[in-house]
Chain A
């Protein structure tokens, strides 16, 4: 069964460093998303991406964040200068067109120290 894959599963970085979280969505999917879950809190929408551009972003997704689909298969989330409060589980998701659910990856746990 096809699945969304995310790498790495866990990343530890120092405050102020740049990190790139990687996702490989399911191959025929058209819509891509990043969500995050701060420990013990709800899952929050960050950004959506369609047709090679951001279609919607939340207030969390400030100038420190960016997304890219560099090669037609990977979908990346970059945080330019990480802060302690960026520590969270980051989930990538994708879906094809039509009335279907989004398929989520296993998540990347980002720890900023």
Chain B
């Protein structure tokens, strides 16, 4: 079974500082990893994904994530946080790639990012 853990309920960071939101995963095959962001009273917006290739993937709004197979982690990072980055961030995983395109994922519990002015 696929699972993902986000160990921090909340991360506080000062504006302009680098941020990291942690995610670890568990799959039996090759992981297929995503980050989504949820702003207050809004839906889930896709940020970035890892399928294969470079361990550092770049996504929307200046975010990037580093895939680390040995540590089974996929931490979300940004070099300089903005107040507008304050939101709920979800890591999600799919165990392997379905060649037909079925993309049911399992979400983590979410991490609330608070960027302090």
A56 at the B interface (CB under 8 A): yes
Chain A hits for B44, CB < 8 A: 43, 91, 93, 104, 107
Residue of A6, A42, A50 with most partner-chain B CB within 10 A: A42
* Chain A, 42-60, CB within 8 A of any chain B CB: 42-45, 48, 50, 55-56
Chain B 95-109 interface residues, beta-carbon cutoff 8 Å to A: 97, 100-109
The answer, yes or no, to whether A61 is at the interface (CB within 8 Å) is no
Query: Does residue B45 face the partner (Cβ distance < 8 Å to A)?
Result: yes
Contact yes or no, B43 A107, CB < 8 A: yes
Once the chains bind, are A95 and B43 in contact (CB under 8 Å)? no
| Any A CB within 8 A of the CB of B82 | no
Among the interface residues A33, A43, A91, A97, which one has the most CB atoms of the partner chain B within 10 A?
A: A43
B49 and A101 contacting across the interface, CB-CB below 8 Å: yes
Q: Does B87 contact A (CB under 8 A)?
A: no
| B36 surroundings in chain A (CB, below 8 A) | 104
A6 to B46, CA, bound (A): 17
Closest A residue to B110 by beta carbon equals: A42
Q: Report B115 CB to chain A, min CB distance, Å.
A: 21
Name the contact of A42 in the complex, choosing from B45, B51, B108 (C-beta under 8 A). Answer: B108
A45 near B103 (CB under 8 angstroms)?
Answer: no
Q: Give A contacts to B, CB under 8 Å.
A: 6, 30-31, 33, 35, 41-45, 48, 50, 55-56, 91, 93, 95-107
Residues of B bordering A, CB below 8 Å: 32, 34, 36, 42-46, 49, 51, 90, 97, 100-110
